[in-house]
């Protein structure tokens, strides 16, 4: 069991938990995720590791309240225990000095993007972050991203904070003013789809971190399968990051809808 050491409410629907998990903290890298169960009868929930502290043996999990299990997780308090956390899972982000990298974050996509942006900056890249959400309340980790990025621009659908518009507006604004060598995009599937359509037009290599349904985390159940190019891939073991220009987003979105109906 893993003890919750600190709880922070980013908004009414987004919560951060700092959890004691020394073995995971010791070996996790940017892009890795975990699968948790709140209790012994709980469903398995995949969550990207938003941050880690090897010295303290902790990991950070950012959770959006979107169903019974995430609600139950967000209702836990400091001192409570999560029944089990398995990880680190998946493949780490490929990091090198690409040049100028745009990190496009939609909503809680800012959480998995934070360690990626940090690693990219450490590798010598110029890191430009587009942080977008529906409203000001849903903008998270702005301060932390500003500490590692060369620039952070904010977009909200309703114009309640920063610029009014979508994440694609921010990405294109940067592309039109300077040369961009790579894009990382994390957020809702539909958001990643349109970022990839945009960057494909400008011939900018783009990596996406997919948020499919997962169950066992080993590729055995097949719930997380996606089509990348002409191949079937399993997000939990082959990903979660893929070449966004090869992902069949329409198929992925259809499968996500099937699980939610």
Do the domain assignments include residue 94?
A: no
Give the position of tokens 């904010």: 154
CA distance 128 to 150: 6
Return the pLDDT at 260.
56
CA distance 30 to 64: 20
Do the domain assignments include residue 95?
A: no
Q: Answer yes or no: do 126 and 250 share one domain.
A: yes
Return the pLDDT at 222.
79
Do the domain assignments include residue 137?
A: yes
Task: Indicate if the pLDDT at residue 261 is higher than 60.
Answer: no
> Across 78-214, where does the E strand assignment appear?
81-82, 84-89, 100-106, 126-133, 151-156, 163-164, 182-186, 206-209
Print the domain residue range for 40.
Answer: 2-89
Q: Answer yes or no: do 123 and 38 share one domain.
A: no
Return the pLDDT at 209.
92
In 125-156, which positions are buried (b, 16+ CB within 10 angstroms) versus exposed (e)? bbbbbbbbbeeeebbbbbebbeebbeebbbbb
Q: Answer yes or no: do 214 and 131 share one domain.
A: yes
Q: Map residue 134 onto helix, strand or coil.
A: coil
| Segments in 93-141 forming alpha helices (H) | 110-122
Do the domain assignments include residue 254?
A: yes
Q: At 50, which CATH number?
A: 2.40.30.10
Q: Answer yes or no: do 75 and 125 share one domain.
A: no
pLDDT band at 259 (very low <50, low <70, confident <90, very high): low
Which of 59, 89, 119 is the endpoint of a domain?
89
Do the domain assignments include residue 246?
A: yes
Residue 38: phi and psi, rounded to 5, are -65, -40
pLDDT band at 40 (very low <50, low <70, confident <90, very high): confident
Q: Answer yes or no: do 80 and 116 share one domain.
A: no
Do the domain assignments include residue 29?
A: yes
Q: Answer yes or no: do 165 and 232 share one domain.
A: yes
pLDDT band at 258 (very low <50, low <70, confident <90, very high): low
Q: What is the pTM of this model?
A: 0.88
Count of domains forming the chain? 2
Predicted confidence (pLDDT) per residue in 180-231, tens digit: 999 999 999 999 999 999 999 999 999 999 988 777 777 777 778 899 998 9
Q: Answer yes or no: do 255 and 140 share one domain.
A: yes
Which of 64, 89, 114 is the endpoint of a domain?
89
Q: Answer yes or no: do 135 and 163 share one domain.
A: yes
Q: At 248, which CATH number?
A: 3.40.50.80
Which of 58, 89, 120 is the endpoint of a domain?
89
């Amino acid at each position: 069991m893993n003890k919750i050491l600190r709880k922070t409410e980013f908004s009414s629907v987004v919560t951060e938990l700092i959890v004691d998990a020394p073995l995971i903290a010791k070996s996790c890298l940017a892009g890795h995720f975990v699968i948790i169960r709140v209790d012994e009868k709980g469903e398995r929930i995949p969550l990207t590791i938003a941050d880690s502290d090897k010295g303290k043996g902790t990991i950070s999990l950012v959770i959006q309240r979107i169903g019974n299990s995430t609600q139950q997780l967000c209702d836990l308090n400091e001192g409570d225990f999560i029944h089990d956390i398995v990880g680190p899972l998946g493949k780490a982000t490929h990091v090198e000095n690409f040049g100028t990298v745009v990190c496009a974050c939609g909503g809680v996509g800012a959480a998995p993007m934070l360690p990626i942006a940090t690693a990219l900056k450490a590798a010598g890249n110029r890191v430009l972050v587009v942080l977008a959400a529906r409203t000001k309340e849903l903008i998270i980790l702005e301060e932390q991203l500003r500490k590692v990025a060369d620039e952070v621009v904010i977009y909200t659908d309703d114009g309640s904070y920063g610029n009014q518009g979508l994440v694609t507006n921010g990405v294109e604004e940067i592309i039109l003013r300077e040369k961009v060598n790579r894009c990382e995009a994390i957020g809702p599937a539909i958001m990643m789809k349109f970022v990839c359509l945009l960057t494909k037009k400008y011939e900018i290599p783009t990596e996406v971190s997919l948020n499919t349904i997962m169950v066992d985390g080993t590729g055995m159940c097949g719930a997380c399968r996606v089509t990348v190019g002409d191949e079937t891939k399993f997000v939990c073991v082959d990903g979660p990051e893929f070449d966004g220009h090869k992902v069949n987003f329409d198929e992925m979105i259809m499968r996500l809808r099937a699980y939610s109906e």
